[in-house]
Amino acid sequence: MLSRLRSSRLLRVLLALVALAFVGYGLAQNWEGTLEALGRLSWWSVAGACAAVMAGAGCMLLAWRSVVAGLGSPLPLRVAARVLFVGQLGKYVPGSVWAYAAMMELGRDHGCPPRRTFSATSLGLVISLGCAAGLAAATLPFTARSVAERAWYLVLIIPVIVVCLHPRILTWGLNLALRIARKEPIEQVLPGRALLAAVAWTVLGWLLYGLHTWLVLGDLTGDFSLYPLGAGAYAFAWATGLLVAVVPAGLGVREAAMVAVLVTALDGHGLVPAVTTAGAVALVSRLAFTLTDVAWAGIGWLLGRGTAQAPTETRASTYAAQ
């Protein structure tokens, strides 16, 4: 499959079109509900939610770029945006390999070996899952206790991820995954400063993601003290959608998980109608993230169009000397 993607420009274009078609299908499935939800909201809350998601995704880009640079391929920012965001459109296509395949081939075009793209993307997901689980574990017991009691497994994920981020264990795990994928092993241990930078950018990204649900919740309920609820609800929903990997981009799973948290919390606060409010937040959240994925992919594609192709690998020492 990768060899065909590498040799056929037409196949790459078709894959991008298929991904965009699935994006459109996902929006069309919830179109009436989305319009109804938007009709209940002020323009500033929708615009603010989209801006917060765009900014959060930008932080995730910087986190991913820190990791791939630490592994030996310090990509220019515009190239990193092209590889990450254009490639990530593949997550909307059923099957979990398309985003990985697209990102590895885009990275190869710019001199980043597939093993580094694969490793950076996998590590980015692990860090993001740890941050999401931590945010949910820190907020749900105070905002939606019954959901927190059922989702006790989130607390167990955090120490496992922390242990797995130890340099030696991390390198062993990445090389094991690369062997399974029949790729060459990574050449070096990820530097500690690159890992810390990725964690810091990811935490900031998750705090920004929390703003989008907070703005929509505040607009619908008139209560702007609900940031912990909004941030925790989305973190729990995203982690649930990621763990149910068979569903493209967590479609439907993420919304159901978010509604479960919000309904529990809003009923407890006496804010009604809880179900329609929670549904509106979930729909606007999906809309904001879908538009962000498409917008960032367009930005990355435009920024990376004029970049020179780099067929040779960049040595890890280049990054270490900076």
Q: Sorting pLDDT into bands at 50, 70 and 90, what band is 133?
A: very high
pTM of the model: 0.82
pLDDT in tens, 290-314: 899 989 999 998 887 765 454 434 4
Tell me the H-state helices in 222-320.
Answer: 227-243, 253-269, 274-304, 316-320
Mean pLDDT of the chain: 81
In the predicted structure, residue 240 carries a pLDDT above the cut 90: no
User: Helix-strand-coil percent breakdown of the chain, rounded to 5?
Assistant: 80, 0, 20
- Return the percentage of the chain with pLDDT > 70, whole number: 77
Higher pLDDT, 168 or 248: 168
CA distance 199 to 208: 14
Structure tokens at 110: 């710019």
pLDDT in tens, 24-67: 555 455 556 556 666 778 889 999 999 999 999 999 999 999 99
- Residues 6 or more apart from 141 whose CB is under 8 A from it? 148
Higher pLDDT, 314 or 217: 217
Considering only CA atoms, which of 259, 321, 231 is closest in space to residue 37? 259
The DSSP code sequence of 93-106 is SSSTTHHHHHHHHH
Domain boundaries, the chain: 51-301
In the predicted structure, residue 77 carries a pLDDT above the cut 90: yes
Determine which helix (DSSP H) or strand (DSSP E) holds 28, and give its type and residue range: helix 9-29
Summary count for the chain: helices (H), strands (E): 16, 0
CB 55 within 8 A of CB 47: no
